Amino acid sequence: MSLLLGVNIDHVATLRQARYSGMLDSPNAEPSPLEAADDALVGGADSITIHVRGDRRHMQERDAFKIRDQINLPLNFEMGNTPEMVAMVLRLKPDFVCLVPETREEVTTEGGLDVAGLYDSLDKTVSQLQQEGIKVSMFIDPDTHQVEASSRIGAEMIELHTGCFANADDVDRKQETNRLKNAAILGHEHQLQVNAGHGINRQNLSELLTVPHLAELNIGHTLIARSLRVGLIEAVREMREAMKGYAL
């Protein structure tokens, strides 16, 4: 099976909110996350990823439901472990949920979820979601304890946080790549689907593709940035082409 591409379109909403926060009913409110999701589909995306944050800094609840209703692709919903988000997801019924850490201070998600340390509170949420037929992924650092905790809690998937890998210099990049390899091998041994995301771009992709057992890459910022030059359809097509040949 070929490596899948999930396209995160949060930052389309970031741009819209910069001008139209509080005015989403305006006919001028643009750009449209719904249109971006459709462009990602045309470009060859295998799924759409969105994150409705507690502070609603980019994606809004209405965006999530429009995309779920109108885009014929699996929806991956990133969420903090809060009662508000659990209630929303139980109405939205996305195909997948990726549980992520969330703080108001961060610009974007930084670091993985402490599944081991937050096990009891996460366990209840995982059970609730799975009872509704929603598959669950844990967004974790490439750490053996977090992989093992994700397996124990019953998640179907892990998404390895690739931010340290993406931001490392040449010397540290090798160490971070090895961490990802070890975590992916362990996840595969525990029969978890292994995904990866954060900071992935065409410059670091070739080294990331040396990591075994990857099923899907979730990529956002670089695609939105590239779309300013070539459009989102072409940006997604370029990334899909660059991902070809992965066979580990």
Cite the active site residues.
51, 78, 198
Neighbours of 199 (CB within 10 A): 19
**CA distances in angstroms from 9 to 47, 177, 180, 192, 219, listed in the order given:** 11, 26, 25, 25, 9
Q: Within 10 Å of residue 81's Cβ, how many Cβ atoms?
A: 17
Both structure tokens of 106: 């961060």
E-only strand ranges, the chain: 4-8, 47-51, 75-79, 96-99, 135-140, 157-161, 193-197, 214-219
Q: What is the DSSP letter of 31?
A: S
- The dihedrals phi and psi of 191, each to the nearest 5 degrees, come to 65, 35
Q: How far apart are alpha carbons 211 and 182 in whole angstroms?
A: 9
